[in-house]
Every structure is written in structure tokens, then in C-alpha cells.
Amino acid sequence: MRIAAILLAIALAFSGVRATAQNASPAAAPSGRSAVVNYYVNERRAPVSIELFRGIVLFKVTLAGRDAWMMLDNGAEHSLIDAALLAPLGIMSQENKGRTMRTPTGVVPYRIALDVPLVIPGQLEGRIPMAAVDLKTFSDLAGHPIDAVLGADLINPSILSLDVERRVLQLLPGGAQVREAVPSIMLGKGKPQFEAMVGGQPVQLTIDLGFDGELSLSPEAWARVGPPDAKKEARTLVHVDGQALSVDHASLPSVVIGGLERKTVGVDIRPIPARDGDGWIGMGLMSQFGVVMDMSRGKLWLVPRLPSTSAGASPP
């Protein structure tokens, strides 16, 4: 057993938390409707197993009683469901009056799926509105079925615990007690954004758990902190809307996050929305830590991986 796994287990504990949390995301629901979510506690609660596939986090859920694959992506404003599933699952939907959803490469139209029955085993169940979009193209490009996306509307009101090394995910109701086994990193007000150090200079990074790379920086940020002699190569990125984007890729000698240094970090240089600061930090880096994120308190805990204990030794 790794020490990081022990610390992450210690970091989370229920203390006087209600078993249910309703109207978890009224502001973010695409239809203006409220999500009704019941978090499991006691004997019903167990971590959900995840799969890290090509840098994205996937896990099994049920949608209207049918087994499905869901992707973790707090960069998605709304939770998504593949529009092709609406009719087979008997899920009602409505037109969106010409509104579109913004993506990193443009905009994509969507319908509103009303009251989607969702169960994340061992974590929660509820009926939530989702944005219905065509996910087939993205699934084909990813090389793995993706039937739905768990977005910021459900992640932000929860406490997210993610341990890629142990391959487990937990979602705790807002208000759950978090015991600080490691120092916390302060997040920006209402944003999964924090300050990191690159080349001795501060950069504002937004956590994007749907981004499979390590870092993306805006051209302006790269000009400020990137090594002058860095070699660049062209890469093509494909997003959930199926659109491709060509970007420059380089590397940074060192990135310091909450006092933890990571060396030789890959970075894509691409336009970044002003609201996201200087860039995005993705699963390429976040998967190197045990992650606990509490948006309601504006705190992030990163538990570094440490070497395994020696054979036969008792865990600390």
C-alpha cells in the first residue's frame, strides 16, 4: 500500500452530514430546473472504480436503468448525455431555442434532456437535467464508449476525491468534513483556479479534469514564462464536439504546484479564455497526485505519490 493512498483515506470523513442533498445545482442546470441528488452514506457507500483511458477518467454508471460509461470533466459547464440515448431510454427532451454550448474550439448545439435518472454506484443517485449532444464522434475518436459526461453542475456542489493510483473516485455532499492531512491550496472565488510557479513566475491555472494533457498555456503566458530556447512541435487536439485544433507543444523544465515540484512538464500553447487565467492544468499532471477538491470552501488538497513500503513492512 502506498502512503499517498493512506493519507487520502484519512483526508475524508463524514461528520454530521445529511444523507441527502437536494437542488444540488439549480444555477447550472441547462433547463433552469434543479437537480435532485441523494448521496449515499453508511453501508450503501463505496468508492466507484475508474478507468484512466488515454488520459481521461471514465467510470460505469446507470442512466435510466441502463449501464453506461461516464466521463469526468469539470471543464464542461453542464453534465452531458449522448442525444442518441434519449429515445431508447425514454428520456424526454425539449428544444433549446437556438442556444449553443461553448467549447474550446467553438460552439455546439444541444437539446435539454429533462430529469435523467442517474446512479453512480456507491456514491449517489438522482434525477438531473443534462445537455443532450452528439457524443458518438468523440467516442469514436477517443476509442472508447462515452455515453455521458459528469460536468461542473454536479462536481462543484460536491467534494471530489480522485485517486488515479488506486483507481477510485468519490463524491461527498457539500458540507462534509475534510480533515486536512496535507496543506490546502486556495482556489479562486467560485473557480477551480489556483496560482502555480513556472520559471519563478506566478501563473493562474484552471483545473480541467477533461483535459488529458499536462498543461495548456495561452501564447501570452508562454511568452512570459516559457524558455526562450524551447523546441516546439505541432500537435492536433480533438474535443468533445469532434472538432480538431492544431497547437504548438513544448515542455517546461519545472512547474511548482502548492510547493510540490514537477519537472519536464509538457505544455500546449493555445488560446485560453480570459476567465480561465493563464491556462489549464489537466489529468496529465493531476493524476500524479491524490486529489481532493472542495469548491464550496475554495480549497484543493494534493497528496503526492510516495514510494511503496518495503515488502513485509507494516503500513504506517
- pLDDT confidence of residue 15: 32
| pLDDT band for position 315 (cuts 50, 70, 90) | very low
What would the pLDDT profile of 63-112 be if each residue is shown by its tens digit? 999 999 999 999 888 899 999 999 999 999 988 776 666 655 456 778 89
Please, which pLDDT band fits residue 10 given cuts at 50, 70 and 90? very low
On the question of pLDDT at 308 being above 70, the answer is no
Q: Indicate if 110 and 63 belong to the same structural domain.
A: yes
How confident is the prediction for the chain on average, in pLDDT? 84
Could you tell me if 159 and 19 lie in one domain? yes
CATH number at residue 157: 2.40.70.10
pLDDT in tens, 222-267: 999 999 999 999 988 766 666 677 899 999 999 999 999 999 999 9
pLDDT score at 106: 56
Per-residue pLDDT tens digits for 21-50: 333 443 345 555 678 899 998 889 999 999
Same domain, 13 and 36: yes
Q: Are residues 152 and 287 in the same domain?
A: no
Same domain, 127 and 252: no
Whether residues 128 and 266 share a domain: the answer is no
Domain boundary among 112, 145, 173: 173
pLDDT at 242: 62
**What confidence tens digit (pLDDT) does each residue in 203-222 have?**
999 999 999 999 999 999 99
pLDDT digits (tens, 9 = 90+) for 258-307: 999 999 999 999 999 999 999 999 999 999 999 999 999 999 999 987 65
Is pLDDT larger for residue 278 or for residue 316? 278
Same domain, 58 and 160: yes
Domain presence at residue 42: yes
For residues 7 and 144, membership in a common domain is answered with: yes
Flag whether pLDDT at 129 surpasses 50.
Answer: yes
Residues 199 and 136 in one domain: no
Is 85 domain-assigned?
A: yes
Rounded mean pLDDT, 131-158: 91
Q: How many domains does the chain have?
A: 2
Indicate the pLDDT class of residue 4, thresholds 50, 70 and 90: very low
Q: CB under 8 Å to 246, separation ≥6 — which residues? A: 234, 235, 236, 237
Does the pLDDT at position 18 exceed 50?
A: no
pLDDT of residue 17: 31
Residue 107 included in any domain: yes
Residue 99 belongs to some domain of the structure: yes
Decide if 314 is inside a domain. no
Residue 312's pLDDT is what? 34
So what's the pLDDT on residue 307? 53
pLDDT, position 16: 29
Asked if the model's pLDDT at residue 19 lies above 60, the reply is no
pLDDT number for residue 180: 78
Instruction: Kindly state whether residues 227 and 265 are assigned to the same domain.
Output: yes
In which domain, by residue range, is 12 found? 3-173
Residue 116 has pLDDT above 60, yes or no: yes
Q: For residues 297 and 224, state if they share a domain.
A: yes
Average pLDDT over residues 184-201: 94
Residues 160 and 192 in one domain: no
Inside any domain, residue 272: yes
Q: Which of 146, 173, 200 is the last residue of a domain?
A: 173
Domain ends where: 173, 202, 218? 173
Residue 31 lies in a domain: yes
In a domain, 277, yes or no: yes
